Homo-oligomer: A and B are copies of this chain.
């Protein structure tokens, strides 16, 4: 099974709206946290059961329900029922190989994002799906719950009441979550940049088949990164330009800002792709270069010693009548001839600039 592909096939044949979790089973239970606030009040709690979220639906304050772990279909179903989510949305939340998208259901927007992180120590990039439901006065976020998230600073800002976040509505909260996800991409980009730099040095100093393998892995990772980030562009444009009443005029400037960041990430990925492609060319031509070097050594050696060996062979023949063999200065003469041959060969190579 390729690691970037989910077992989507197990859903084939089921009716639409069937809630089946696609992805690796996660051992821990589902964890639901609720942050409820307005400019003056703030309330934070862990929900024991999903029913604890229901009363917040009607409160005028902004409510952020974060669901960590989406493998229990029942939780999604109950939440969905209470908050009036379309069965297809419920299905999509469970389906973790969605591409980023935004769907406007009138009462709420459904947004899918990819959260990226690095596995501890390893260079592998992990992809986690985040689904956001933006309603009039609430945001529900669903995570796979594998690796922690990037929303810590936002929670902190809500708690402390700093910045605009407590003074604004649910749309600004949704924007902040998207912004946090996009900001985290820059961290990934920098690590990738470092890897590319390291590979480039390696390429110049000591290229090896391992270098090729690393380039190939990098290239593949870039393919998947691209797939996760490209559609985000449209998602944010759709939010900014769309005519949904859920998004206020002041928030649109902020969405434009996060749109700019997305474009930057996309451009960086494209730049990296170009660079990695260039590295492959360099690798291939360094291989050719090396082959040329090796072949030159071989040719020089062969060209030097073959005539000499032949000469030695001639005077190693056992003919009875070989006058040269009798001459007292025959041996030095042959040695001299050999030196002359060698020197002229070397001169030839010099002229050809072979060394």
Copies of this protein in the complex: 5
Residue A16 at the chain B interface, CB threshold 8 Å: yes
Q: Is the CB of B260 within 8 A of A101?
A: yes
Tell me how far the C-beta of A308 lies from the nearest C-beta in chain B, rounded to whole angstroms. 5
> Known: A209-B289, A216-B282, A306-B305. Is A315-B319 also a contact (CB below 8 A)?
yes
Per-residue interface assignment for chain A, residues 108 to 135, with 1 indicating a CB less than 8 Å from any chain B CB and 0 otherwise: 0000000000000000000000000000
> How far is B165's CA from A14's CA once the two chains are assembled, in angstroms?
12
Residue A27 at the chain B interface, CB threshold 8 Å: no
Residue A283 at the chain B interface, CB threshold 8 Å: yes
Tell me how far the C-beta of A21 lies from the nearest C-beta in chain B, rounded to whole angstroms. 16
Per-residue interface assignment for chain A, residues 46 to 73, with 1 indicating a CB less than 8 Å from any chain B CB and 0 otherwise: 0000000000000000000000000000
Residues of B contacting A25 with CB < 8 Å? none
Residue A146 at the chain B interface, CB threshold 8 Å: no
Q: Is the CB of B325 within 8 A of A320?
A: yes
Residues of B contacting A287 with CB < 8 Å? 285, 288-289, 292
Q: Is the CB of B297 within 8 A of A303?
A: yes
Residues of B contacting A187 with CB < 8 Å? 9, 12
Segment 202-221 of A: residues with Cβ below 8 Å from B? 204, 206, 209, 212-213, 216, 219-220
Q: Is the CB of A312 within 8 A of B319?
A: no
Specify which of B153, B223, B274, B285 is in contact with A223 (CB 8 Å cutoff).
B274
Q: Which among A209, A284, A319, A330 has the greatest number of chain B C-beta atoms within 10 A?
A: A319
Segment 176-225 of A: residues with Cβ below 8 Å from B? 176, 179-180, 183-184, 186-187, 189-190, 193-194, 196-197, 204, 206, 209, 212-213, 216, 219-220, 223-224
Residue A339 at the chain B interface, CB threshold 8 Å: no
Residue A43 at the chain B interface, CB threshold 8 Å: no
Per-residue interface assignment for chain A, residues 300 to 341, with 1 indicating a CB less than 8 Å from any chain B CB and 0 otherwise: 011111111110111111111110111111110010000000
A-B contacts, 17 listed (Cβ < 8 Å): A5-B189, A5-B193, A5-B268, A13-B152, A15-B162, A216-B281, A283-B285, A291-B292, A292-B294, A295-B299, A298-B303, A301-B306, A304-B306, A312-B314, A317-B331, A318-B325, A320-B325
Beyond contacts A13-B180, A220-B278, A284-B288: 6 other A-B pairs, Cβ-Cβ < 8 A, are A2-B196, A91-B257, A284-B285, A294-B295, A312-B313, A321-B327
